Chains A and B, each alone.
Chain A
Amino acid sequence: MRKYIIKRILISILVLLGVSIILYTVARSVPGDYVTNITAGNQNITPEMEAQMREQYGLDKGLVEGYVDWLVDALHGDFGTSFVYQRPVAQVIKEYMAPTLALSGIALTLEVILAIPFGIWAARKQYSMTDYTIVAIALMGISLPSFFFASILRIVFSIKLGWLPISGMLTARMNYQGFDLFLDYARHFVLPIVVFVITGVGSMLRYVRTNMLEVLSADYVRTARAKGLPEHKVIYKHAFRNTLIPIVTLIGGMIPALFSGAVITEGIFSLEGLGNVALKAVYNGDIPYLMGFNMFIAVLTLLGTLVADVLYAVVDPRVRY
């Protein structure tokens, strides 16, 4: 087991190296870098000043040299200074992490809570009206463009009914304290979380349903039925436990999708999280932040799959490495 984990971690480092090379190449090959962006239209900037600024930002070096510099710094734990925020990238990420984690964490939990019981319910009644209704609603959720769904929610709940704030994280000029502050945050997070959950729960529910169907047609379930166990015991003791195994791996694999989704949802609702900062970074050519953010996601992705694989062996004693 330990040998397996060590091997996986070594492989992950290789993968991260590959990811960083691709990301750096893509980020650097954009014509018009950060310096061009901030100096555009400013008549007082001479070419010499521009060159000097480039040197300061490390943009004067070639692709390979720049990458090696970045890599060496990154290995020392220094991910550079964000061009836009003028602070170390690690600090910027730490600062803006809370909203993103809250958003995706709560959404993921809600998805699990919704997907598992409804998925099992649909599987138990395959080809029935219940099954069709649950699957149709779940799939409608994943077939909606998230920006469209968000706009509809905003027009209904914020503009027409006025129940919830339209965007942002805090009500301006209210200076809430303590519990009121928490409530204010919560009110701003309701719509983004709803968008997240509705547009995401379908894939997990479908997965639960398929696995449950597979398990329900297994021999040991038939045996359990044949020996006359009550139905709920068959479902929850024999079938459900075995569907848990693949679900564990699914949750590990959902992390990158969560963060990608966060970029769009945070952008729509202008929440000050990692995704929104990343959007700004793309528009401004803030290479250090983009590299830091994308590598952060890559590390989380690899970590997620690794943890899922290890958990797989924990929940299923048949699996050995």
Chain B
Amino acid sequence: MSDNKELLERNLKEQDEFEKNQVIMTPGQLIAKRFFRNKLACFGLGVIIVMVLFCAIGPIISPYGEYEIFYFDVNTNAEVRMDKVSGNPNLGVLVKAPISASHWLGTDADGRDVLTRLMYGGRISLTVGLVVVGIELVIGILLGGIAGYYGGAVDMIIMRLCEIFYCLPFVPIMLILSSLFVGYGISPQKKIYFIMIVMGVLYWASVARNVRAQILSLREMEYMQAAESTGIKTWRKILKHLVPNTIPIIILIATMDIGSVILTESVLSFLGVGIAWPYASWGNMANVVTDSIILKNYPNIWAPPSLLILFTVLAFNFIGDGMRDAFDPRMKR
């Protein structure tokens, strides 16, 4: 009998110890652990942090302004800044200056500092990415949620709307719309907003599709029956119980899309319908590759913006891939 008691005690003690040593992780921690196991994803995250810092803090440190044009004195060859130009007759614009101590990446074809413009351009490019994705998420989640929850005729209408937007060819539409902007004399400042809205509106269909598919399967789960039986309002059910469970896929789409929007903006700039002068964006700075003289002789002008686009989009893709693997518990292996 006493033997038995001893055994029991020892068992209990061992169990306690086992539990003490056991690290219990929340689902979030598990996801984070899986995410940080992926080296490419970590690299992507690092790149994005560096880019954001570069664009956010860079302009504060940089001594030059975004539109500042540099001149040089024809006689002395000394550099003259824009505010000291007045009254000096023998000045030339300092175009395509080589890399130097005062201009780390030289100046562009209009005589502006490339590095400074990269910082301001990054602000615009990243903002465009964020805002467009924001717009498409708002529309997509709302319509996808409604379609998935209600089903029936509402679902039918929203999904057909999705298909319509899916069938609209993006590039021709953007081209036509941009001539619309020009025709109605919309200023470059406002044009940025219009471009962002149009892109968001043209992109929402895939978000809505994914959210709807997710909600269709969530709707049948037992916890939704429980929610139903508490008698809460429909809106609360959709926003509080269904949408939060689609967040993994939403984050995933958002990450991937920020990258692709930045890329699309650069293509639009190339076609001459993106962010317009005098504003800088990485897209319209990379655009100078169409000038064969610059392409051949001035890599300091075209390479930096192109590389920044490449690395940023790549980083967003890496993060997205890492997240997909991390969110999916089946991928444990």
Contacts and interface: CB of A to CB of B under 8 A. Distances in A.
Contact of A263 (B171, B266, B332): B171
A30 B263 CA distance: 26
Given A135-B40, A143-B313, A159-B296, A151 B169 contact: no
The majority secondary structure among interface residues of chain B is helix
Nearest to A202: B317
Contact of A155 (B270, B296, B332): B296
B258 to A, nearest CB: 12
A222 B199 CA distance: 44
Interface stretch (B78-86, B102-110, B159-167, B233-241): B159-167
A169 B239 CA distance: 55
B221 interface: no
Nearest to A262: B171
Contact of A264 (B40, B267, B313): B267
Contacts, number: 146
Given A145-B286, A145-B309, A155 B295 contact: yes
Interface residues on B, range: 35 or more
A165 to B, nearest CB: 15
B309 A143 contact: yes
Contact of B171 (A143, A144, A148, A260): A260
Given A147-B267, A147-B289, A260-B171, A14 B166 contact: no
A44 to B, nearest CB: 25
Nearest to B180: A30
B332 A148 contact: no
Nearest to B166: A301
Interface residues of A, number: 57
A164 to B, nearest CB: 16
Given A136-B40, A145-B309, A147-B289, A29 B180 contact: yes
- List the 8 closest pairs (A to B, CB-CB), nearest first: A31-B183, A143-B313, A151-B289, A298-B167, A143-B314, A18-B164, A282-B175, A147-B270
15 contacts: A14-B160, A18-B161, A22-B164, A23-B173, A26-B176, A30-B180, A136-B314, A145-B266, A256-B166, A263-B169, A263-B172, A278-B172, A298-B168, A301-B167, A302-B167
Interface of B: 37-40, 160-161, 163-164, 166-173, 175-177, 179-180, 183-184, 259, 263, 266-267, 270-271, 283, 286-287, 289-290, 292, 295-296, 306, 309-311, 313-314, 317-318, 321, 324-325, 328, 330-333
